[in-house]
């Protein structure tokens, strides 16, 4: 049985929120930085571990606040080194988080909702229905938990207040997790405020210190929220396009009926307008046999994206039970790629990772206790 705590969970507080909290309890702003570092850089899960915080304040914090993360209930490791964690939330729901190791980086794929309301036909998560948005604490906790699981040195020691030992864990040259992608369960822009606060922590120097180019938000195209995102935290962007025209996209990405391709691409151009540092965004295009993979579709996509600052990821469809689609043949994918390449685009065929543990793109399912809900919360 789960009992909901009345204590404030500081795990999801960004610096501004943390400063406001300490101000409310009559403490100096520098306490916010201290506690932020202990939680996110040193992996502290107990205020008693914060040895450079006064004992009086530690006691007070333990009475009114907590550092609470989801529990890992299952871990699977694929033959290619990909790791998938099933994390249990309050209320009986679970989410999935995936770590993808590569030679020069380690990428964590993070969920933003329990299930998903968008109902894209080629996505296993969509078949789970939608239950609720994740809190900022539950989003950032996936990075916090994965960091501890992958690097035990990140664990705080109540006897060691010297940050030199722990600092090695967060040093950019020694990080196990170098990149975060919000490409897990859910549509991030339908959980706007919580996602943004979690991203602030990812970018915060006193927390994880990731650069904007190493945090990528993937969206199916919630246009109003995409426009807001530019003002809040202009991280890297991936657009789940998957079709060269509205006729096809209406069928496989229902959100397109509300925000058609023309509006979506205009919002993408606005996102990058006036900024010379962000060179391009990523177009994600899942390859579905007989649906969107013809040579005509490739040429149409090339025209659609003309003058757009983008690169294109072609994603082999990952089948799942009850799916109505099949993956395009590899020779079809390569022909599609060649047409786009000759049109001047940077095109990559995404390598399928973690397929043997259902951790590949579109396969995350988690456990949604109440699958009846179908409306996400837009711009909240």
CB 375 within 8 A of CB 138: no
**CA 169 from chain center: how many Å?**
21
Please report which helix (H) or strand (E) contains residue 286, including its range: strand 281-287
Catalytic residue among 116, 120, 268, 361, which?
Answer: 361
Is 96 an active-site residue? yes
Cα–Cα distance, 95 to 70 (Å, whole number): 9
Catalytic residue among 96, 138, 197, 284, which?
Answer: 96
User: Over the range 85-96, which residues count as b (16 or more CB within 10 Å of their CB) and which as e?
Assistant: bbbbbeeebbbb
Radius of gyration of the chain (CA): 21
Residue where the block lists tokens 């403490």: 27
Bridge-partner residues for 100, per DSSP?
107
Q: How far is CA 317 from CA 124, 165, 284, 294, 303, in A?
A: 11, 44, 12, 15, 23
Contacts of 222 (CB under 8 A, 6+ apart): 187, 189, 190, 255, 259, 378, 379
Dig out the tokens for 137 from the structure. Answer: 């604490």
DSSP 70: P
CB 117 within 8 A of CB 312: no
CB 199 within 8 A of CB 217: yes
How many residues belong to the chain? 380
Which residues are marked as active site?
96, 361
């Amino acid at each position: 049985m789960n009992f909901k705590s009345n204590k404030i969970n500081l795990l999801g507080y960004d610096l501004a929120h943390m400063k406001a909290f300490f101000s409310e309890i009559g403490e100096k702003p520098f306490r916010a930085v201290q506690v932020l570092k202990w939680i996110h850089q040193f992996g502290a899960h107990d205020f008693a571990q914060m040895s450079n915080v006064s004992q009086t304040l530690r006691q007070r914090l333990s009475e009114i606040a907590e550092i609470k993360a989801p529990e890992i209930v299952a871990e699977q490791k694929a033959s290619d080194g990909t790791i998938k964690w099933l994390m249990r939330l309050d209320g009986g729901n679970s989410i999935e988080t995936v770590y993808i190791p590569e030679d020069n980086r380690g990428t964590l794929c993070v969920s933003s909702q329990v299930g998903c309301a968008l109902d894209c036909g080629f996505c296993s998560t969509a078949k789970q229905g939608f239950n609720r948005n994740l809190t900022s604490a539950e989003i950032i906790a996936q990075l916090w938990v994965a960091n501890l699981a992958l690097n035990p040195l990140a664990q705080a020691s109540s006897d060691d207040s010297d940050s030199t030992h722990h600092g090695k864990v967060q040093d950019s040259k020694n990080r196990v997790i170098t990149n975060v992608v919000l490409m897990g369960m859910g549509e991030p822009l339908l959980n706007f405020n919580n996602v943004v606060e979690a991203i602030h922590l990812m970018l915060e120097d006193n927390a994880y210190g990731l650069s904007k180019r190493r945090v990528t938000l993937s969206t199916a195209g919630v246009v109003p929220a995409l426009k807001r995102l530019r003002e809040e935290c202009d991280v890297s962007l991936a657009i789940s396009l998957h079709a060269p025209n509205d006729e096809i996209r209406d069928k496989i990405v229902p959100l397109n009926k509300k925000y058609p391709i023309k509006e979506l691409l205009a919002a993408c151009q606005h996102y990058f307008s006036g900024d010379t540092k962000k060179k391009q965004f990523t177009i994600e295009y899942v390859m579905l046999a007989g649906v969107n993979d013809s040579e005509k579709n490739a040429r149409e996509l090339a025209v659609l994206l003309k003058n757009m600052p983008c690169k294109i990821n072609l994603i082999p469809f990952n089948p799942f039970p009850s799916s109505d689609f099949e993956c395009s043949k590899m020779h079809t994918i390569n022909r599609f790629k060649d047409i786009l390449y000759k049109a001047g685009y940077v095109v990559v065929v995404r390598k399928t990772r973690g397929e043997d543990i259902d951790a590949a793109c579109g396969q995350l399912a988690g456990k949604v206790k109440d699958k009846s809900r179908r409306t996400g919360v837009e711009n909240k």
